[in-house]
Structure 1
Amino acid sequence: MRVASGSRRDGLAPAFVVPHAWTEDGISVDGGGTGAHLLLTAVACCVLNDVYREAQEPGIALAGVRVDAVGGFDSTTWSSTTIAYDVDVDSDAPQQVVDGLLAQVDEVAEIPRVVRGSVAVTRERSEA
């Protein structure tokens, strides 16, 4: 899965585009539509969004962000075994500043935190 914004959308033929508060052209999403792909998309979009959010207060200018997310799944149970992501940031800020921003994002990004916590997912029957 790949999600990208701004200058990092170049050359990406997205499956769809999601509106985004901090970018004029939204977030391009490239990848499949299975549940596994959507889980990876959720992680990647969350990380991308949080890069923009966390860059606001220190005033780090971002020209574009790309997040690639990959995952492993148990072929018997289809449970998620791993999710890894990589972030490419286009910014004039020094690399040390960008590295600090990405470390902060890794701590606060909500969906990766939820998944890391091994959330139980249950189906509840709604009463009609």
Structure 2
Amino acid sequence: MTIAFDIDGALTPLGPRRFPCSALRSQCTFDPETNAVEISALVSNTPAGHTTTVRTDAASQSVPIPAKATGRGSAVNGGEFLMLALATCYCNDVYREAARLGIPIDSVEVEATADFPGVGLAATNIRYRARVSSSAADASVIADLLRQTDAVAEVHNTIRAGADVALVS
């Protein structure tokens, strides 16, 4: 028997799913002294081609993203990538937290959505939905897993905290 559980989360600064990591200190897996990483992304777009690369510390990998049909810029926009970052972060973190807690997971599906009201305006109404299936865990265990994962999802917490973004030369 597979149990599927959905969670809807609104990513607002004081939203109902915002839990400071300190509230779950015994359940947090992040230790700034041992787990800190530097993550970066590089997009290079020229008339000769379009490349995208991501890096975590020294490990880098190419991500195949096509150029726009006009050749100027990426065919996938930044808002789509932001939603992909939220969905990917939560999906990966569900598996990480489930492994830490010994909860078997059969599948995870995450959809992140936001409204972008206009050019140069910040996204609003950022929200996500997760569906997790487990053939061995009951619904209350999965519900707790999803809430705990929401509390420690790094990309979500970055958005919730309203991190500064600086243009550097």
Residue by residue, what CA displacement relative to the aligned partner does 1:87-120 show, whole Å, maximum 9, x if unpaired?
0011021000000000000100000000011112
Structure 2 equivalent of residue 103 of structure 1: 147
Structure 2 equivalent of residue 10 of structure 1: none
Query: Which sits farther off after the overlay, 36-45 or 77-86?
Result: 77-86
Deviation at 1:73, TM superposition (A): 1.6
Check if 1:34 corresponds to 2:77.
yes
Q: Which has the higher contact order (CA 8 A, sep 6+)?
A: 2
* The structure with more radius of gyration: 2
Structure 2 equivalent of residue 121 of structure 1: 165
Q: 1:123 is paired with a residue of what secondary structure?
A: coil
Q: 2:101 is paired with a residue of what secondary structure?
A: coil
Q: 1:61 is paired with a residue of what secondary structure?
A: coil
Question: Pairwise CA RMSD of aligned residues?
Answer: 1.6
> Which 4+ runs in 1 deviate beyond 2 A?
none
Aligned partner letter, 2:127: A
Q: 2:96 is paired with a residue of what secondary structure?
A: helix
Q: How many residues align?
A: 95
Structure 1 equivalent of residue 114 of structure 2: 71
Check if 1:59 corresponds to 2:102.
yes
Residue by residue, what CA displacement relative to the aligned partner does 1:42-78 show, whole Å, maximum 9, x if unpaired?
0110000000000012211111100011001231533
C-alpha distance in structure 1 between counterparts of 2:93 and 2:159, whole Å: 16
Q: Percent identity?
A: 36
After TM superposition, the score normalised by the length of structure 1 is 0.69
Structure 1 unaligned spans of 5+ = 1-31
After TM superposition, the score normalised by the length of structure 2 is 0.53
